[in-house]
Amino acid sequence: MRIPTVLLAAAAAALPFLSLCPASAAGGQGPKISYDEALKRYDESLGHPDFYHRARGIQTFANCADERAFNTLIERYFKPDDPNPHPIAYKNLIAGCCGTAFADQKHVDEWQGWMGRAATAFDSWLHYFGRSEMATYGKADEVLAFIRDVKNDVFLRAAAIEGLGAAKYSGIAEFVAQLLDDKKMFGKGLDRSVLVESCANVMLPFKGKNDTPVIAALNALADQIDERANLERSKLVIARRLARILESPELYFDAKSWKPLIEGLAAKTSKSGSKKYREPHFMGVSGSGKKTAFIIDLSDSMLKELTTDEIEDIKDRVVTGKKEKEKENAKKKKDTKNDPGEDLPWDQIKNRFDAAREALIQSLKNLEPDMEFTVVTFGTDVRWLNSTNGLVPATSVNVNKAVSELKGIKPSGKRLRGNTNIHGGFLRAFRSLKNATHKGEDEHVAARGFEEGCDSIFLLTDGAATCDDYTEKGILQKTDGHWKDPETGEEHHGPPGETQIPWKGPYRIAHLYVQDILRMNLFRKSEINCIGIGEADFDSLKEIAEAGLGTFVSIGKDTSEDKDDDGDGRR
């Protein structure tokens, strides 16, 4: 088939927390065009059966920023297409495109009316943008009232809190302190944790601030770590954010360890306060959490031989379950036993795939038995390892099964697994449950995902996205039979004729798949670490890692910007 040429729009720079501005979340959609031209392209897109063309039509129509287009897209949100195999994906795409194009005061009433008709957890992405618009343009009090109304869906209330943060609402710290102090505002378990964790998230911009409302809000958040009505996961979510705000090199899991830091004093920690979390490692990157998803690129380009720079960079980075500080100390002592380059079987490593596989095997072997893990591999198709169909305990038996399966993956000539489906890799990671996988498009709000899903993610990829899960046949059209493989660059020739060309979906476009990954993580709040090598889209990977409070690493490239903001090995 012929692969269509797509210009990948540059992803907008994310704020250093998940609540990025609606105006930047969907990224550059190109220059505005007239309403008549946009309507023409939009109508043409409706003649295509595939998601890619229809998504581009939605994007173009929104980008004309005309009120008539806005109203048309609002109605399409409620009746996306018929038949439509991806109703939630269409809704999220429409909300995201409109969140960028109609971010101004004159459309606030339309946003409010739109949200009034959409009141389920599935509409949370819409509410994130819409509540932010209201808070930005004079209706913050109504957003606050919506959050306080316990009759509203808890995910919509949490989306509104995130929207306040995105709008940079000036009273956010005072509101968080008051909300957390009001026991009537919360239920228990998931309903409570979703709200509390969003409160923690919107405090991230207050790093280094010590005025009275901020101190009150941070103390209230610290108290939530000890709150038994929260899910256990909330301790980690809150601790990560307090560590970022207070520039702490450690994560503490009791309130009393945070209080001195909040008051500007040295932390007085106990063993119980600082040693409850685990540190998964991959490619020299340290994470935090006990339930880790590894998303590994198996596209054909991973068979490219490693360059000298890449080999040296991997040798310098890869550690065997040691923190970066320990590695540095070992170097200073010139202790050859601790040479990180010796931890991988370099006689067996020739290409990117070999290096990724051996580094992953090393990481799995260093997991603690009380941790859980899953391995998601992606090429054109995305799949879990058979031995990790969901999150499994990191027992020696399960690790050995995964290692054996990884060693059994063999290329066929220049082929491994085809194209680069990054978006699908993240979908599988967020759909991973304890010894199970979630079915459906609602993984971002499914209850089991919060209780059983991954709390940390590692992505390794060597290329820009070239496909997603939404490949569908397009309209019948003429083709000259010539096409070029996007992974290997190989030229292919076939007979000319008419065919229904399979079109890969919209989430191979950088700003769209980045935005959708941030949507998946809006409530789940997994730490996301991204490792790029070769021709990876480093800008997009960095944006995802920053929003996921993780670390971004570029193998074999200038690594001066790889480290986290705090120098503590975490983002």
Give the model's pLDDT for residue 195.
Answer: 98
At which residue do the structure tokens 């986290």 appear? 564
Least confident of 219-228, 337-346, 544-553: 337-346
**CA dihedral for 70, 71, 73, 78, sign (positive or negative):** positive
The rounded mean pLDDT for the chain is 86
Residue 108 lies in a domain: yes
Residues 98 and 40 in one domain: yes
Residues 179 and 141 in one domain: no
Least confident of 171-185, 456-470, 481-495, 505-519: 481-495
Residue 5 lies in a domain: no
Residues 265 and 371 in one domain: no
Judge whether residue 341 has pLDDT over 50: no
322, 402 Cβ separation under 8 angstroms: no
Judge whether residue 66 has pLDDT over 60: yes
Residues 81 and 108 in one domain: yes
> Percent of the chain, pLDDT > 90?
73
Instruction: Label residue 316 by pLDDT band (50, 70, 90).
Output: confident
Instruction: Label residue 475 by pLDDT band (50, 70, 90).
Output: low
pTM for the whole thing? 0.88
Instruction: Label residue 401 by pLDDT band (50, 70, 90).
Output: very high
Residues 90 and 67 in one domain: yes
Residue range 516-526: mean pLDDT, rounded: 98
170, 204 Cβ separation under 8 angstroms: no
At which residue do the structure tokens 């920023």 appear? 65
At which residue do the structure tokens 């996921």 appear? 548
Taken as a whole, the chain contains a residue count of 571
Least confident of 14-28, 287-301, 356-370, 394-408: 14-28
CATH of the domain at 360: 3.40.50
Instruction: Label residue 330 by pLDDT band (50, 70, 90).
Output: very low
3-state helix, strand, coil split of the chain in percent (to 5) is 50, 10, 40
Give the model's pLDDT for residue 567.
Answer: 35
- Which secondary-structure segment (H or E) carries 553? strand 552-555
Cα–Cα dist 532/530, whole Å:
6
Residue 32 CB contacts under 8 Å (≥ 6 apart), including other chains: 63, 64, 65
Residue type, 6: V
Judge whether residue 266 has pLDDT over 80: no
102 DSSP β-pair partners: none
Judge whether residue 338 has pLDDT over 50: no
Cα–Cα dist 78/212, whole Å:
44
Residues 199 and 82 in one domain: no
Give the model's pLDDT for residue 503.
Answer: 84
Burial class (CB in 10 A: 0-12, 13-18, 19+), 157: buried
Q: Which domain holds residue 495?
A: 471-504
Residues 61 and 175 in one domain: no
Give the model's pLDDT for residue 82.
Answer: 73
Residue 364 CB contacts under 8 Å (≥ 6 apart), including other chains: 294, 373, 375, 394, 399, 402, 403
Domain boundary among 160, 195, 220: 160
Q: What is the pLDDT of residues 9-53, one digit of tens each?
A: 223 333 333 334 444 343 444 557 999 999 999 999 999 989 999
Over its C-alpha atoms, the chain yields an Rg (Å, rounded) of: 24
Residue 331 lies in a domain: no
Residues 361 and 244 in one domain: no
Residue 409 CB contacts under 8 Å (≥ 6 apart), including other chains: 298, 357, 377, 416
Give the model's pLDDT for residue 230.
Answer: 97
Residues 199 and 124 in one domain: no
- Can you say whether residue 247 is alpha, beta or left, with left for phi > 0 and alpha for psi between -120 and 50 degrees? left
Judge whether residue 306 has pLDDT over 90: yes
Residue 198 lies in a domain: yes
Residues 149 and 22 in one domain: yes
Burial class (CB in 10 A: 0-12, 13-18, 19+), 197: buried
Give the model's pLDDT for residue 556.
Answer: 87
Residue range 432-450: mean pLDDT, rounded: 96
Give the model's pLDDT for residue 486.
Answer: 56
Domain boundary among 160, 189, 209: 160
490 compared with 252, residue with greater pLDDT: 252
Residue 252 lies in a domain: yes
Cα–Cα dist 55/89, whole Å:
10
532, 555 Cβ separation under 8 angstroms: yes
211 compared with 238, residue with greater pLDDT: 238
Give the model's pLDDT for residue 209.
Answer: 86
Instruction: Label residue 344 by pLDDT band (50, 70, 90).
Output: confident
Give the model's pLDDT for residue 547.
Answer: 97
Residue type, 439: K
State the total domains in the chain: 4
Is the peptide bond preceding residue 83 cis, with omega within 30 degrees of 0?
yes
Residue 535 lies in a domain: yes
Cα–Cα dist 571/566, whole Å:
7
Residues 375 and 449 in one domain: yes
Instruction: Label residue 435 by pLDDT band (50, 70, 90).
Output: very high
Cα–Cα dist 517/428, whole Å:
12
443, 390 Cβ separation under 8 angstroms: no
Domain boundary among 255, 276, 297: 276
Least confident of 221-235, 309-323, 545-559: 309-323
Judge whether residue 425 has pLDDT over 60: yes
Residues 494 and 425 in one domain: no
Instruction: Label residue 318 by pLDDT band (50, 70, 90).
Output: confident
Q: Which CB contacts under 8 angstroms, 24+ apart, belong to 410-414? A: 411/303, 411/353, 414/300, 414/303, 414/488, 414/490
485 compared with 519, residue with greater pLDDT: 519
Residue 141 lies in a domain: yes
Residue 390 lies in a domain: no
Give the model's pLDDT for residue 80.
Answer: 77
